[in-house]
């Protein structure tokens, strides 16, 4: 009897959720939290199993989410085209779980229905998201030589996150629980956005380097 073990990382979408379904660019990253699974096969290899991996791991068929889980790291994704992103400096994100369940299929369908009702307006929304994702990808890969350039880099990312969140609100996928997290983090001058399908789920908040350094200094003192 053969035993099979596997693990896959969790993922966050930094920009482009929902819009990626309509041809826009998205940026996603794997995180250091894993799901583990193990099972036993009897017989060791069922007939036909050997032919499955090429279809299971087809990026074209399964899109952004599976790509982030399978490849790990950070990626830029658009219409089946995947590019690995090398981050020069780390991005530190706080992930807040609103603990509100959501129906991803219904949310995706809702965006498509809105796009059908308002094709020109929604096309502009998707185009704006595409530009945001491309700019975010470029900023992430740009070098930061000192504290000033690191701060400037993070401020640009904060603005892009805020713009992306506004566009997600235009798509109708935010939620009262998400908006509450946004209001709370804004009190501390932190930029946040929903990640994933929306309608609940999780919220990303960028943790600026200067804030973390000040916190570390406070703890040490």
Contact predicate 192/165, CB 8 Å? yes
pLDDT band for position 62 (cuts 50, 70, 90): very low
Q: How far is CA 16 from CA 38, 60, 65, in A?
A: 33, 17, 12
Q: Is the pLDDT of residue 175 over 80?
A: yes
Decide if pLDDT at 11 tops 90. Answer: no
Mean pLDDT of all residues in 167-190: 96
Range(s) of the domain holding residue 90: 2-220
Q: Which residue has the higher pLDDT, 125 or 146?
A: 125
Whether the model clears a pTM of 0.85, i.e. scores above it, the answer is no
107-134 pLDDT per residue, tens: 999 999 999 999 999 999 999 999 999 9
Question: Is residue 97 classed as helix, strand or coil in its secondary structure?
Answer: strand
Number of domains in the chain: 1
Distance CA 119, CA 116 (A): 5
CATH code of the domain containing 194: 3.30.70.890
């Amino acid at each position: 009897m053969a035993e099979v073990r596997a693990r896959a990382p969790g993922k966050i979408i930094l920009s482009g959720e929902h819009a990626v379904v309509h041809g826009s660019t998205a940026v996603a990253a794997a995180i250091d939290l894993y799901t583990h699974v193990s099972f036993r096969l009897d017989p060791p290899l069922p007939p036909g199993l050997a032919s499955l991996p090429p279809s299971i791991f087809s990026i074209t068929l399964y899109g952004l989410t599976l790509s982030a889980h399978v490849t790990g790291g950070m990626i830029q994704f658009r219409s089946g085209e995947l590019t690995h992103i090398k981050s020069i400096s780390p991005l530190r994100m706080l992930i807040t779980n609103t603990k509100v369940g959501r129906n991803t299929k219904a949310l995706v369908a809702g965006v498509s229905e809105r796009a059908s009702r308002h094709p020109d307006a929604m096309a502009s929304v998707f185009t704006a998201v595409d530009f945001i994702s491309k700019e975010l990808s470029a900023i992430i890969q740009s070098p930061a030589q000192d504290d000033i350039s690191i701060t400037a880099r993070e401020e640009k990312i904060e603005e892009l996150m805020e713009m992306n969140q506004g566009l997600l609100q235009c798509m109708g996928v935010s939620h009262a629980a998400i908006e509450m997290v946004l209001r709370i983090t804004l009190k501390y001058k932190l930029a946040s956005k929903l990640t994933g399908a929306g309608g609940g789920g999780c919220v990303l908040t960028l943790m600026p380097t200067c804030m973390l350094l000040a916190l570390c200094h406070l703890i040490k003192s």
